[in-house]
Structure 1
Amino acid sequence: MKSLVYFLILLIYPRLLYGQKKFEVSFSFPDSAEIKKLSFFYYDCHLRELRPVSASYSNNQATISHSYNTVYAQIYVEYGSTDYKHGMTIFTTEKPAKVMFSGVINEADPFRNYTLVNAQDPKQEFLAEEEYIREAQNTYKQIYDSIAPKWKSEDSLDFHKVKDAKMAIDSKRLEYISSHPNSYSSFYLFEKYSIRVLPPDLLLQQFATTFPANFRNSEEGACIKKYILNRAVVEGQKKAISFTANDINANKVIFEEIYNKKNVLLVFWGTWCPPCIDEIPIIREIRQRYSKEQLEIISVAVESPLEKVQQIIKEQQIDWINIVNDKKINLLYQINAYPEVFLIENKGNIIYKYSDYPDPNLGNLKKILAAHATIH
């Protein structure tokens, strides 16, 4: 019983298992630099996103500090105006690190001359990886440019040509990663790019055989493996993953309880996404066509101000379940582009995914719905 309790605690509080780590990085700039043009971020592997971190300033030095859950702290720095910003990535550990810039800060290339202490600069490895995949990227561009201007939704062969060419880029990148298994830059590239596209079974095999144990068995390694396993469920087994959330009216939503009773349309969108807004009248038409006993609709708004969501709900007469800014749902369903729509039938099987194949005006979705529900 004690061991079970301990296991459950570790599931809920992974830091108890892996320990809490903290980075500290100081950035020193020449007097000519406008230091307040700097923005700082660190990567959180559980959220799979860069998180802003505030700096303390003293003369022309900025210092940042925060806990981190990756093997090395992934620090991203931006410099520039609102319209255009330049960025650099460094990797650090718990040892206090320094980035010391010298010479005149050039707005066109601000991260040009610097010295690192207790930090790694992955720039050359990133450039080597870009060179390694360049031919595959050029091939993809040629195929895309030849097909895209005249493509029609019924041209499935052309669609798969483009998709295969895109997959070839990721396969080539995986070759590069496999040939540099002990480099943390390879682990970084695997997490950032490869795990979103390539088949989950292949990724799990590569993860287990490519990287050293200290990478695989880390908290970051656990995040990567969990992400791939979720993809295997959603994309491989075509099964829904349950979640519990509160809707915009503070009502509890237990997803499994809903899709066990009826078909569910799960829609991911954002107030900042024009195609998402354009799609709402089509979703509303579907809502009007099917009763709530036949079909439930759940919309998940992403990175959207609550007030703006409420305004659009009112203007567009959205009368279905709405969830706002619950990041975990996006992570469970591997959402990389918007809008995204899933149709889940009442056995929990995913029978439609918008991004699997272009579906203008959701015509294919309407046909599938007609075959799985009785129109009232």
Structure 2
Amino acid sequence: MKSIIFLLILLICPCLIFGQKKFEVSFSFPDSTATKKLSFFYYDCQLRDFISVPASYHHHKAIISHSYNTVYAQIYVEYGSADLRPGMTIFTTEKPAKVTFSEPINEADPFKNYTLVNAQDPKQEFLAEKEYIKEAQNTYRQIYDSIAPNWKSEDSLDFKKIKEAKMAIDRKRLEYITSHSKSYSSFYLFEKYTIRALPPDLLLQQFTTTFPATFRNSEEGTSIKKYLLNRAIIEEQKKAISFTANDINNNKVIFEEIYNKKHVLLVFWGTWCPPCIAEIPLLRKIRQQYSKEQLEIISVAVGSAPEKVRQFIKEQQMDWMNIVDNDKINQLYQINAYPEVFLIERKGNIIYKYSDYPDPNLGNLQQILAARADTH
């Protein structure tokens, strides 16, 4: 009986057996004063972000440890306290790793002289990738510099030229990744840079055919695939993805139940974002034009303290549904810049996305609303 239960655990909950990997890295310096200026981070593939990890200090040494869910633990280290914060990346495993600096840290070039034990340094591969995409980046800069000084936000043709030139960088990067597919550095670059811009169907194909099974079938690989599948739903199928959350007043919000009954304006913003704040009067105007039976507005505040959001709701008269996000909803909707606005019609069809094209003063959105919300 015990063996059957154990087998069921293996089949149903593999993450319990395989997901609890832990790294430990020690950083040694000839001068202990340098350690206090260092900041340490590790990458969490579920949160899709680098997370700060505290260090313990012993004489001339800083030690960090934490569980991780990527193929290799991705460790990022920053030095300094000003705006300019040089950094270094290393990859390691569950074997205790060491980074030893042979000289006191030079503030101008802090990560110069060091040796590694049980860790990989991807610096040279990153430099090779930068060299490979250099020409595409120069072309983008030339196009941007020729357009930007006189560009008007309503000029969608110029916007398209800039966007296509930027996409060309990612296509070139994908070429490099494909030709170095067995390297974890390429897998890292694929996730960090490429998956946000190029068409998700292309990226899913490349993901399936390019990388070895050890990468694809990992928790990290599963997270990447899920991200791309969600992108395909939003960008290609133009469908909303439902979520369940509590609003600022602790009322339960089931998104699908709302967009099945009426149009929904889904707005991602932050109290720290000046363009988001500047957009609030436009949203208030839209709220006044349409009844709640025609249109629901749901603002999702990201990276904002609930008390700060409450203050803005009161001051800005945000008379609509407000949610303070813990990064789950914005990740679901692939939000990379703020503000972002979706218009979702009944049955979950996305008929407008702000970042798809320039829309000063939400003029295009208001035209679509006038045509759709009044007649549905």
Q: Calculate the TM-score normalised by the size of structure 2.
A: 0.95
Distance of 2:27 and 2:159 partners within structure 1: 47
Q: Which residue of 2 aligns with 1:335?
A: 335
> Is contact 1:18-1:219 (8 Å) kept?
no
2:243 corresponds to 1:243: yes
The 5-angstrom pairing of residues 47-62 of structure 1 reads: 47-62=47-62
Moved more, 324-333 or 45-54: 324-333
CA distance in 2, matches of 1:213, 1:32: 43
Q: Which moved more, 1:299-308 or 1:115-124?
A: 299-308
The gaps in structure 2 that reach 5 residues or longer are: none
Asked whether the equivalents of residues 245 and 326 of structure 1 are also in contact (C-alpha less than 8 Å), the reply is no
Equivalence for 2:117: 117
* Cα distance in 2 between the residues matched to 1:65 and 1:364: 50
Work out the CA distance in 2 between the residues paired with 1:202 and 1:149. 34
Q: Which residue of 2 aligns with 1:345?
A: 345
SS, match of residue 34 in structure 1: helix
1:278 maps to what in 2? 278
SS of structure 2 residue aligned to 1:94: coil
What secondary structure sits across from 2:30 in the alignment? Answer: coil
Q: Does residue 325 of structure 1 match 2:320?
A: no
The equivalent residue for 1:139 is 139
Partner of 1:357: 357
Aligned to 1:79: 79
For 1:42 and 1:326, locate their aligned partners in 2 and report how far apart those are by CA, in whole Å: 19
- Look up the equivalent residue of 1:39 and give its one-letter code: S
CA displacement at 1:190 relative to structure 2: 0.2
Instruction: Give, in angstroms, the shift of residue 145 of structure 1.
Output: 1.1
Instruction: Indicate whether 1:310 and 2:310 are aligned.
Output: yes
Separation (CA, whole Å) in 1 of partners of 2:256 and 2:199:
26
Equivalent-residue separation in structure 1 for 2:16 and 2:368 (angstroms): 46
Q: Secondary structure of 2:147's partner?
A: helix
Q: Aligned letter for 1:334? A: Q
- Partners of 2:138 and 2:222 lie apart in 1 by 34
Q: Partners of 2:84 and 2:60 in 1: how far apart?
A: 22
In structure 1, the partner of 2:68 is 68
Is the partner of 2:334 in helix, strand or coil?
Answer: coil
Q: How far apart, CA to CA, are the structure 2 residues paired with 1:35 and 1:153?
A: 46
Q: Which runs of 5+ in 1 are unaligned?
A: none
Give the Cα separation in 2 of the matches to 1:57 and 1:325. 34
RMSD: 1.8
Amino acid at match of 1:327: D
Residues 94-142 of structure 1, C-alpha deviations (whole Å, 9 max, x = no match): 0000000111211111111000000000011001101100100010111
TM-score by length of 1: 0.95
Tell me by how many angstroms 1:155 deviates. Answer: 2.7
Are 1:170 and 2:170 an aligned pair? yes
CA distance in 1 between partners of 2:334 and 2:55 (Å): 32
1:148 corresponds to which letter in structure 2?
A
Cα contact 1:71–1:218 (8 A) shared by 2: yes
Is structure 2 residue 149 aligned with structure 1 residue 149? yes
Residue identity opposite 2:77 in structure 1: V
Aligned-partner Cα distance in 2 for 1:136–1:227: 26
Stretch moving more, 317-326 or 243-252 = 317-326
Q: Is the 8 A contact 1:32 1:105 kept in 2?
A: no
Is the CA contact 2:40–2:77 (under 8 Å) kept in the aligned structure 1? Answer: yes
d(CA) in 2 for partners of 1:311, 1:302: 15
Question: How many Å separate the matches in 2 of 1:70 and 1:322?
Answer: 33
Distance verdict in 2 for CA 1:32–1:358, change over 3 Å: same
Distance 1:112 1:152 in 2: 44
Letter in 1 for 2:302: V
SS at match of 2:348: coil
Distance 2:14 2:169 in 1: 34
Q: Which residue of 1 aligns with 2:97?
A: 97
